[in-house]
Chains A and B, each alone.
Chain A
């Protein structure tokens, strides 16, 4: 090891922070980027199939949009409690963080339930034709995000009721909230694609 001389003392630096100061925030951003790319490619594939088929949708009736529309409205509304969880986490206000995490879990469970119902209202099966296949995969891809985020949030909520609920856990809550914005944002183009492009 090369000989060295001390030039600066970092003893006073904190051990955690929020937002862009933490590595976890950047890691979350990285996963959003690659999953977002996955969504973008699925959208591209959808439009490509629209392009190669003279008729679209390849079904008699387009999907019933109401379950999807309701889900979209709830998703958009969930931004507010999510913002609360994020802000309270930054303030390290444990009781409030617990409350808002429970609210987010309940919303997540509701959304997953609606999503299951959505699948039954598509008026096309995945193995009927390419239109059915791409519609199902897009909805499925996003459903996977709803499910994993629900799992994440539930585990984190449970964690905040244990002795571990301190310090950098608040930063984890903040990152979890950050990821939710991605889940909401990525849905909007998919919603238009799945429910409104077939009605064009």
Chain B
């Protein structure tokens, strides 16, 4: 490396020159967000952005849950008059779209944004301004969808908006445009965070955290991010084509002008199936963290667990056609995708065996987080079994578009993602807020959720086998589906109550919960080495990692590295495989520009559904805000 590179300003204050509370206070000032509205809107602290992401995603969970409750009330008995067909169409579309795009994916990213930098022992995520931008874009996309729904222009073509139904001919008006642009918003947000994760994980790990010492949750986020990078562009391309078909008269999906409706399905499911794993893989990472902490021993089969994550990531791209078995594909094609669909059960199975073996060989402590993990095992395995059934073309042909499928995907989505997520909230809540959640309420929460869930969704398998189609707003009494539907509705209400209880537990524990301390579960990974909640700088000095569970290996004082600046934001950047430190790179300070850029981008998208010229004129404010964002302000972070 040249001398010019090694040259440095000798006057700057380093963390080797100060110590103790002075160091802590100075770093907190350097990395802090400041007071006031402008400061709050300018923050780039990953913990604050993640908290906003979390709260917003949970609000969307409740909105999605309320739309589900409305649907279940309507279906509770035959020929019910609670909701008419048009509103029902909007409701299932809003429910599916909200749950997938505004809750499940963002919430997993939110947990990652909070935890990944802490688990890696760094002070902020890579590209923190992009991170702030991604939150704003996500928020605007979600608001856009729900405000449209309130104005009675909520989309009504299902969460996968099949053409030709969603095309200009069968869906005139703005409803589907809203859907298509909301996709663009949320995918931009997700792609931005994926790139941040990849770079943070590859480059900003604490010195000594070689690839085989990366916490399993972080591995899961890394694999998920790669899946996002390669899957999400498909839905962006698809939704752009759809909106062009609708707004400026292109013919991508119009068979009479050389287009093809199945092109939509291919593009959508090329994204849509990996999407399921974008939701499930981080949840698997949460399960690993919880299992290890509560089994009180390192994971049994760290390597197989990591390899399974990677295998699932790859295989998830070979499955999309299994959503299209009934579209008349060539036989050989269908056989290939069946084989692949069954193959993916293997790495998933390996993970489950590793977790069970870890618990078996440990001394498990059955607290609420672990209860949710056990609930996950049960429900997810059942969902996997109905999945294997669906992977076979003859069965799929029979039950396609029935409630059997609705049952299946709620078993995998709620079992595979929501249960681990709730466990994760109980597990990491003390880190985020400094207080424990109530264990008593937690147990009630778990049992109500578990019983309510199974009561709500198990009957749907039977309903599907009896032929009840999905996406119908009512059914005739002669069909004999009344009792099972009533049961499902009762289950949904119990499930809903469990969520209210959860909310109550969060709110009340946040105020009055028992003080947690740094490491209430005596867990081994780095996020537990700092205080709860962590200070703005995360760590006063960057840890030096010597093992996979640093806090279990180093029961005495933690070894750390020094030499970073105190009065400006600096992070340690290392090599990709060994995490050998090579730079003290500066990290951007807060800025209001990401918010402005998000407003400009959002306004452009919004305008584009009214006139294509919005894209031309909108590019001007977008360009201005981006220049504002990147132009150096003269701060030390910008100049060194």
Residues in chain A within 8 A of chain B (CB atoms):
1-17, 20-23, 26-27, 30-31, 33-35, 37-38, 41-42, 45, 48-49, 52-53, 58, 92, 126-134, 136-137, 151, 155, 159, 164, 166-168
Contacts and interface: CB of A to CB of B under 8 A. Distances in A.
Contacts of B530: 1-2
The 4 closest A-B pairs by CB, nearest first: A11-B563, A133-B250, A127-B249, A130-B258
Interface in B213-254: 229-230, 232-234, 236-237, 240-241, 244-245, 248-252, 254
Given A15-B585, A52-B258, 14 more contacts: A1-B24, A1-B535, A1-B540, A5-B557, A11-B563, A15-B570, A15-B640, A22-B585, A26-B199, A129-B251, A129-B258, A133-B244, A137-B244, A155-B631
Given A22-B585, A133-B259, A155-B630, A9 B562 contact: yes
A169 B638 CA distance: 9
A116 to B, nearest CB: 13
A26 B198 contact: yes
Contact of B229 (A26, A34, A129, A166): A34
Contacts of B535: 1
A45 B585 contact: no
Nearest to B252: A133
B123 interface: no
B557 A3 contact: yes
Contacts of B494: none
B558 A26 contact: no
Given A14-B583, A130-B251, A7 B259 contact: no
Grouping DSSP codes into helix (H, G, I), strand (E, B) and loop, the B interface class, with mixed when no group exceeds half, is mixed
Contact of B237 (A6, A8, A41): A41
Contacts of A20: 576
A6 B562 contact: yes
B478 interface: no
A1 B536 CA distance: 13
B251 A4 contact: no
Nearest to A6: B562
A167 B16 CA distance: 24
Contact of A126 (B203, B229, B248, B623): B248
Contacts of A15: 8, 570, 583-586, 640
A56 to B, nearest CB: 9
Contacts of B329: none
B233 A8 contact: no
B533 to A, nearest CB: 12
B361 interface: no
Given A41-B237, A166-B639, A6 B16 contact: yes
Given A38-B237, A130-B257, A16 B229 contact: no
B267 interface: yes
A15 B565 CA distance: 10
A53 to B, nearest CB: 5
A49 B252 CA distance: 9
B267 A41 contact: yes
B551 interface: yes
A34 B586 contact: no
Interface string B118-138: 000000001100000000000
Contacts of A7: 544, 559-561
Given A22-B573, A130-B257, A27 B127 contact: yes
Contacts of A35: 233
